[in-house]
Structure 1
Amino acid sequence: MAGDGLVWLHLLKTVTAALLAMGIAMVLELPSPRTAMVTVFVLMQPMSGMVLAKSFYRVFGTAVGMIAALVLGGVFVQQPELYMLGLTLWIGACTAAAVRYRHFRWYGFVLAGYTTALIGIPTVMQPNGLFMAALTRAAEVTIGILCSGAVSALVLPLRSSTALQHTLRTRYASFSAFAASVLGERVGNGALETRFADLVDEIVGFEAARGFASFDDPNMRVRSRRLARLNSEFMDACTRLHALHQLLKRMHTGQAKPVIEAASPYFRELSGLLGRQNDPGKTDEVRAASAAAELSALKARLPQLVRETRRSLETSAPELLLDFDTAMELLYRFVVEFLRYTQTYASLADHNHVLERSVTKYVVKTNVYVVAITFLRTAVTVASVGAFWIATDWPSGGLAVIAAAITCALSSVSPNPPKLAAQMAAGASLAAVVGYLVTCYGYPNIEGFPLLCVALAPLLAFGAFLTMRPGTTGYGVGFCVFFCLLAGPDNVIVYAPDLLINNGIAAVAGMLVSCLVFTVIFPTEMPWRIQKIKRDLRRQVVLVCKGALTGLNQQFQSSTHDMMFQLRMILMKRSAQHRDALCWMLVTLEVGHSAIDLRIEGLDAPYAEQLQPGWSASIDAVRRDLAELFEYPDTRRLTHALASVDAAIRIAQSLRNSLHENSERRHRMQRILSYLHFIRSALLDRDAPFYAS
C-alpha cells in the first residue's frame, strides 16, 4: 500500500476529478468541458498541499492571462502581425519571469502566459466573442480547480504536512548520525562530498515542502516561520560541520599531531552525544529536548576546558596554537548552531512559541543570462510558429502556436527541455491517434454520461500513469493534455475527423519546433551558461565581503544552495563538472561563512584601529582580495589574497598580545584570528578548486 497502492490511489483520484469536472461543465452547459479536464491533469499531484498550492497560483495566473487576452485582442483587432508580436512578447516575458522566481510563483507566471494563447487564439477571428470566451474559459478552469482540490483533499487525502513531519524526523536523525560519523572521522572525502551534494537537494526540497504543507494543514501554517528558521539553521550547521571536517583533514596532512591529540577528546565527546540522539525508544520531542540539554551543558563548560587544554600547548609553535584555536572555535560554533537547530526543532511541539515571531528569508537567485535566454528561446519558438501560421493561413496553425507556448512554459525549468519537448510530442501523437479512434468509433456508440465515463477512464488513467513515472512524465503530459484538447467531449460533439487530424498535426508540429529550438539554437547545457551560473555561485563571496550585514547570512546561505541546485539539475550526469561545481560551492560556503563571522566580530572591536592604526585597512584588504579571487580565480589573485590574510593575521596576533589585561577583548581578537587562520587554510588547501582553475 505504501508503494503501488499510492500509485493506484493517485490514478483513481485523478480520473475521478477529471470526469467530475467534465460532468459539472456539461451540466452547466459550458461550451468546452475539455478545458476543465485539462486543468485537472495539469493540477493533480499525489499530495493535497501541492494541489492546493498550484490551484492558488493557477487562479491568479488564469485571471492575469484572461486580462492580457482581452487587452491584446482589443488593441490589435484585425492586425494579425501586431497581435502575434504582442502575444509572443507576453508569453516570452511570463516564461522568463517564471524561471526567475521559480517555486510556487513559477506556475502562476507560466499560466499567465499560455492562458492568453488558449483564450485569445481560438477567438482571434471573432473579436466580438472574445469577452465571452474569456469568461467561459475562466469558469471552466475554476471548475477544474475546485474538482482537483476537493477530490485531493477529501478522498483519502495524502497530506503534505504528514510527509513534511516525516522529513523533519528523518533529517534530524540522519544528520545527527552523519555529524557523529564526521566528528569521529569515520567518513571519507568521497562519501562526504556525496552527502553534502544530497543535502543541497534536501534543503531546496524542504523549502518547497514547507510551502505545500502550509496550504493543507493549519498546524503547519502556524509553524511556518519556525520551519523556515529551522531550514536556515540546518544550512548553518551543515556549513560549519564541513568547515570543521576540512580543517581536520588539513591538519592531518600537516605536522599538527599534538593539536589533533589535544582536540580529539572533545570531538569524541560531541560525536558520542550526537550518536545517542538516534535512540528509538524516545519520541521526537523527548529526543530533541534531551539533546538540547546536553548540548547546552557542553557549550557552557567547553570554553573553560579548552583554556585548560591550551595551556599545555603554549610552548608549541605559533602555527600549532593557531590550528588548535581555530579547531576549537569551529567546534564551539558547531555546538552553538546545532543547539539552535535542536531548540527550534523541539519548539515545533508547541502550538505557539516565541520563535514564530522571527523572520527568515529564503532567497531564490537566477542568473540574468539564463532569464534572458529563456525569453529569447520562447520568443523565437512562438514567433516562428506564429509567422508560419500567418503566412500560410493554416486553419490549425493557432493550435500549433498554443502547443508551442505550452511546451516552452512547462519545460522552462526542466533540466533537459529538448527531451521533455520530444516526449510531449510523442505523447501528443499518440493522443491524436487514440482521439481519432475514440471520435470515429467510440463516441457514436456511447449513450449517456455513465457510459462516457467508463469509456474515457482507462485512457485517462493510462496518461496519468505515464505522468507519475519519472522517465515518462513528458509522454504522460503530452497524452493527457492533448487528448483532452483534441478529442475531449464537448456538450455538442462535432464529428470532424479531418479537423482532429489537422489539429493533431499542428500540436505535434508546434512541439517539434520547440524541441528543435531547444536543441540547436539555445541548448540547456551550453558551456557558457554553466560558467555563468558557476560565476554567480563564486560571486556569493563578493556578496558577503561587500553586502550589508542585515540578513546577510540567510541570503548568502539560501541563494548559494539554490544556485548549486540549479547546477546539479544540469550537471547530474556529468560527474567531473558536477564535482567541480560542488567543490566551488563548499569552499564558497566555508570562506563566506568565515568572512561573515569576521565582519560581525570586527563591528564589536572599534578599539583595534586605535591600538593598531593599520588594522581596518588590513581587514578591508582581505575582503577586497577575497572578492576578486572568487570572482576571477587565478594564481596572481590567490597570491594577493594569501598575502592580505597573512598581513591581517600578524596584526591580529600583535593586537591579541597587547590585550592581555582585558580578557573579553582578547577572546574576541582570538576569535577573529581563528577566522582569518581558517580562511588562510582554505586558500592553501591543494584540493581547493583554485588550484584546478
Structure 2
Amino acid sequence: MAASNIATRSLPTRDVVVETFREEAAAWLFVVKTLIAFFLTGWIAMRLELPSPSTAMLTTIIVANRQSGMVLAKSFYRAIGTLAGAVVAVGIVAFFPQQRDLFLLVLSLWIGVCAGGATLYRNFKSYAFVLGGYTAAIVAIPVIENPLGVFDSATARISEVLLGLLVSAAVSDVVFPSRMRDVLRRTARDQFAHFVAFIRDSTGGAIPREAMEKAHLRFVRNAVMLEDLRSSVIFEDAEARARSNHLRLFNQRFMATSTTFHSVHHLINRLQRARRDTAASTLIRLYAPIGRALDAPIEAGAAARVLLPRLATARDDMRASAPALRASLDDAQDLRDFDTGATLLLRFVDELHDYVDAAATLQAPRVIAGSAERVRFDRGNDFLGAGIATARTTLTMLVLGAFWIASAWPMGASAMLLATVFAGLFASTPNPSRVTWIVMLGYLSGMTAAFVCEFFVLTQLDGYGLMVAGVTPFLAVGLVMMMTPSLASYGLGWAMGFAYVLALKNLQTYDPAHFINDAIAQVIGLGAAAISFLVIPPAIGSAWLRRRQLARLRAQVALAAEAPLPGLRHRFESVNHDLVSQVVAQTQPGSADSRTLIAWALAVHETGRALIELRHDMSRQGVPSTLRPYLEAALRTLARFYENPDATGYLLARDAVATAIASVGEHEGTSYLLDHLHLVRMALLDGESVLAAYMPDVPLAKEVAHAS
C-alpha cells in the first residue's frame, strides 16, 4: 500500500485566532437564539393565557441546538411523543378515574415502556418515546383528584409544548440559520474522496492488518454518521428530502463496496503470507487498472462523474486481461487462488462503479424523487436491554407513586414528573448514573439561581421587558455551559432547573415556602432517577451488553446463510455497521474488547458476504439435487459455528466446506460456486484471524483477544 507523506505543521497564529473567534461566535449565537426563542415563547403563551407558560418555555431549552435541522428533527419527534402521550393519558384517566392504585400502575408501566423504547434509537426518534412518557405524566398526574379535567389538561399541555416547538423551529430557521444540509454534503463528499483515495493508494499490494482494521472502523463510522445526518436533514431541507433515498442508496453501495474491498485485500494478504507470491502478484496486476482509473484530480467537492468512464474502461480492461493472466499460471493451486481473486475483483469493480455512479447522481444539480432503488438502513437493536430500561423506570415510578399514596405528600406529583423526564432522557446514555448526578448538581445550581432571581430580582421589576432583562443573565450562564463540552451536562441541568422551578406565568406568585417545597420534590425525583440507574444498572455500556452485541454480530453469518434473499445484502451490511458502531462507542480504543470486536467484524463481513453471493448464485443458476445437500450442510454448519464458536464447531464447519468444495469439483457446470467456497475456506484457515483461537494446534494471534 502506498503511504501518503503528510507534513505536520502548526496553523498560523492568525488562523488560530480566527478559528477561536468563529467558535466563540457560534456558541454565543446559540445562546442568543435560545434566549429569543425562550422569551418569545413565554410572551406568546402569556398573551394566549395558557395555564403554564413555563412548560412552553422549558421546551425551547430541551430542543435547543446549534443546527437548524437538529432543532426541526427534535421538534418533530417531540411533537409526535407529546400527542401520543396526551392520548394515552386521557385513556388511562378514562379507564381508572377512581382507582388510584391501578392508575399509577398503568401510568408507570407506560412510562417504563417509553423509556425502554428510547434506548432502541440513537437519534432524535428517542425523543418521541421520552416525551410520550413525560407528557402522559404531566397530563394525567395533576388531574388525579379531578378526572373530569383531563381533557383540559391534555389540551393545555399539547398547546404549550407545540407552541415551544413552533417558536424554536421558527427562530432556528430564520435567525442566522446554521444548515445541517451543509454538514451532510460535506460528510458525503469527504466519505467519497477519502474512500476513493484509500482504494487508489492500495492498488500497489497488500494492506497491513492494522491499517485494514483502522480503515474498517473509519468506514463503519462514516456509514452510520451519514445515515444519522440524513435522518435529521430531511426535516430541514426540501432538496434533502428529494435526495433522501439516493443518499441511502449511496450509503448502502459504500458499505457493500467496502466489504468486498476488505475481502480482496484479506485474500492478497493471505496469499503473500502463504508464500504464494505468483498468485498474489498476478491478482495485483489484474487490480492495477482500478488504481489508474482513480488516479484523477478528484477533490472532496469535485464531480464523481469524471471517474465513471475511467472505471468503465478499467472494468473492460480487467475482463479482457483476466484470461491472459490466468493462462500465465500453471500451478493448480495458483489457478484456484487466481479464479477466487478474479471473481472478487470483478465484483469489486462493478460495485465501485455503482458507488461512484450513486455519488455522481447526488452531485448532479437535480435529482428525480423516487428514481433511485428503495433501500433501508436497518438497526441492530437489543430488545432485552430495552426491557431492562422498561423494568427500571417502571419500578422507579411505582416506588415514588407508592410513597406518594402512603404519605399523602402534596408535592409527590412534582417528584414523579422529574423522575419521568430524567429516567427516560438518560436511559440511552452509556453512563446514565454519572450523567444524571452531574445534571442534578447543575439542576441544584439552577434552582439556587432561580431563587435569587425570583425573590431578589423579579420582585424589584415590573413588566415583561424588565423581566427579560432580569432573567437573561441567570439563564445565559446555563446556556453558555451547554456549549462547553466538559460542562454540557451541568449546563443542561442548570438551564432546566432554572426554567422549571422559576415557573414564569402571567400572575407570578412569590411564595418562598412553596418554592422550597417544590424544589425539594424535584431534587427527590432527580435523585430517584439517579438511584434507579445504580440499583438496576443500564445495559448500555456494560460488558454484558457488549457480549450480547458481539453474539448478535456473529449471528449475522447465520442471517447470511439462512434468511430470505430479497433485500438480504442491504440488511446484512447495515445491521453489521450499526452493531459495530454501537460496540465501538462503548469500548476503549485499543483495548482487548475493541480489538476482539474489530477482528470478529472483519471475519463476519467477509464470510457473511461470501455466503450471500453463494446463495444468490445457487438461486440464479440452479444446483444439481445431488450437490445441494453438501452446500446446505456447509451453510448450516458455518451458521452454527459463528452463533456458538468452539473448537468442535470449527472442525465441523471446516470439514463441511471442504466436502462441499470436493463435491462441486465432481459436478460439471458448477465451478462458479467454487470461488465463494474457496474464499470461505481461506478465511477459516487464516491463522491471523480471530478464528485462530479455535484451530487445532494453532496459537492465538497476538493482536486478537479471545472472546466466546
Normalising by structure 2, report the TM-score.
Answer: 0.91
Measured against aligned partners, the alpha-carbon deviations of 1:29-84 in whole angstroms (never above 9, x if no partner) come to: 21211111111111122221121122222222111111222222233234332221
Whole-Å separation in 2 of the counterparts to 1:333 and 1:413 = 39
The answer to whether the aligner puts 1:563 opposite 2:575 as a matched pair is no
Cα shift at 1:565: 2.1
> 1:532 & 1:436 partners in 2: Cα distance?
47
User: How far off its partner does 1:470 sit?
Assistant: 3.5
The letter of the residue matching 2:573 is: Q
- Work out whether residues 86 and 158 of structure 2, in 8 Å CA contact, stay in contact via their aligned partners in 1: yes
The percent of aligned pairs where both chains have the same amino acid is 32
User: Which residue in 1 is equivalent to 2:680?
Assistant: 679
The alignment status of 1:297 with 2:309, answered yes or no, reads: no
Alignment of 1:103-502 (within 5 A): 103-185=123-205, 187-279=207-299, 284-285=302-303, 288-313=304-329, 315-316=330-331, 318-348=332-362, 349-353=364-368, 356-502=371-517
> CA offsets, 1:572-609, max 9 Å, x none?
46821122122222211111111110001111232x41
The question of whether the paired residues in 1 share the 8 Å contact of 2:249 and 2:372 is answered with no
Aligned to 1:665: none
Q: 1:430 to 1:184 in 2, by over 3 A?
A: farther
Contact 1:176 1:275 in 2 (8 A): no
Query: Hey, what's the Cα distance between the residues in 2 that align with 1:381 and 1:367?
Result: 22
**For 1:39, which of 59, 65, 69 is the aligned residue?**
59
The Cα of 1:353 is off from its aligned counterpart by: 4.1
| Equivalent of 1:641 in 646, 653, 662 | 653
Aligned to 2:547: 531
Q: Distance in 2 between matches of 1:275 and 1:630?
A: 39
Q: Distance in 2 between matches of 1:567 and 1:385?
A: 34
SS of equivalent to 1:215: coil
- 8 Å contact from structure 2 (residues 203, 284) kept in 1: no
Evaluate the alpha carbon distance shift between residue 271 and residue 519 of structure 1 in structure 2; reply closer, same or farther with a 3 A threshold. farther
Matching residue of 2:629: 617
Distance 1:561-1:176 versus aligned 2 partners, 3 A rule:
same
Per-residue deviation, 1:645: 1.0
Q: Which ranges of structure 2 fall in alignment gaps of 5 or more residues?
A: 1-20, 694-705
Retained in 1: the 8 A contact 2:293–2:314?
no
Which one has the bigger helix percentage? 1
Alpha-carbon spacing, 1:408–1:630, altered in 2? closer, same or farther (3 Å):
same
- Give the match's secondary structure for 2:655: helix
What is the aligned partner in structure 2 of residue 664 from structure 1? none
**1:415 and 1:279, CA in 2 relative to 1: closer, same or farther beyond 3 A?**
same
Shift of 1:481: 1.9
Alignment of 1:626 onto 2:626 = no
Mark the CA change 1:248 to 1:112 in structure 2 (over 3 Å): closer, same or farther. same
Q: Does 1:505 align with 2:520?
A: yes
Quick one: distance in 2 between partners of 1:633 and 1:30? 61
Partners of 2:273 and 2:180 in 1: CA distance: 46
Structure 1 residues 617 and 146, CA, compared in 2 at 3 Å: closer, same or farther? Answer: same
State the TM-score, normalizing by the size of structure 1: 0.93
Aligned 8 A contact 2:206 2:269 in 1: no
Structure-2 separation of matches of 1:358 and 1:350: 19
**Structure 1 residues 635 and 9, CA, compared in 2 at 3 Å: closer, same or farther?**
same
CA distance in 2, matches of 1:183, 1:374: 48
Give the letter aligned to residue 272 of structure 2. H
Aligned-pair CA distance for 1:319:
2.5
**1:624 Cα deviation (Å)?**
0.1
CA distance in 1 between partners of 2:674 and 2:25 (Å):
58
Partner SS for 2:586: helix
State the 1:354 CA deviation: 8.4
Task: Sort the Cα spacing of 1:501 and 1:186 in 2 relative to 1 into closer, same or farther, 3 A.
Answer: farther
CA distance in 2 between partners of 1:299 and 1:466 (Å):
55
CA distance in 1, matches of 2:391, 2:168: 34
* Cα distance, 1:267–1:531 mapped onto 2, change above 3 Å: same
Q: Corresponding residue for 2:561?
A: 545
Alpha-carbon distance in structure 2 between the residues aligned to 1:101 and 1:605: 40
CA distance in 1, matches of 2:248, 2:614: 25
Q: Report the Cα offset of residue 187 of structure 1.
A: 4.8
CA deviations 1:2-44 (Å, max 9, x no partner) are: 4222222212111111111011111112121111111111112
What is the aligned residue count? 672
Q: Is the 8 A contact 2:139 2:153 kept in 1?
A: yes
More off after superposition, 269-278 vs 355-364: 269-278
Q: Does 1:583 align with 2:605?
A: no
Distance 1:50 1:120, change over 3 A: same
CA contact (8 A) 2:93 2:147 kept: yes
Match of 1:662 in 2: none
Amino acid corresponding to residue 569 of structure 1 in structure 2: A
For 2:499, the aligned partner's letter is: C
Q: How far has the Cα of 1:616 moved from its partner?
A: 0.6
Whole-angstrom CA distance in 1 between matches of 2:636 and 2:206: 37
Give, as a single letter, the amino acid of the residue that structure 2 aligns with 1:603.
S
| 1:71 aligned residue | 91
Q: Is the 1:77–1:83 contact (alpha carbons within 8 Å) kept by the matching residues of 2? A: yes
AA in 1 matched with 2:684: L
Deviation at 1:257, TM superposition (A): 0.9
Over 3 Å counting, the alpha-carbon distance change for 1:26 and 1:279 in structure 2 is: closer
CA distance in 2, matches of 1:602, 1:36: 60
Match of 2:114 among 94, 98, 107: 94
3-state SS of paired residue (1:447): coil
Deviations 1:264-322 (CA, angstroms, capped at 9, x unpaired): 22334423433435357xx622xx11211111111122122011001011x21x32222
* Separation in 2, partners of 1:64, 1:11: 31
In structure 1, the partner of 2:13 is none
Quickly say closer, same or farther: Cα 1:353–1:127, change in 2 above 3 A: closer
Q: Indicate the larger mover: 426-435 or 516-525.
A: 516-525
Amino acid at match of 1:121: I
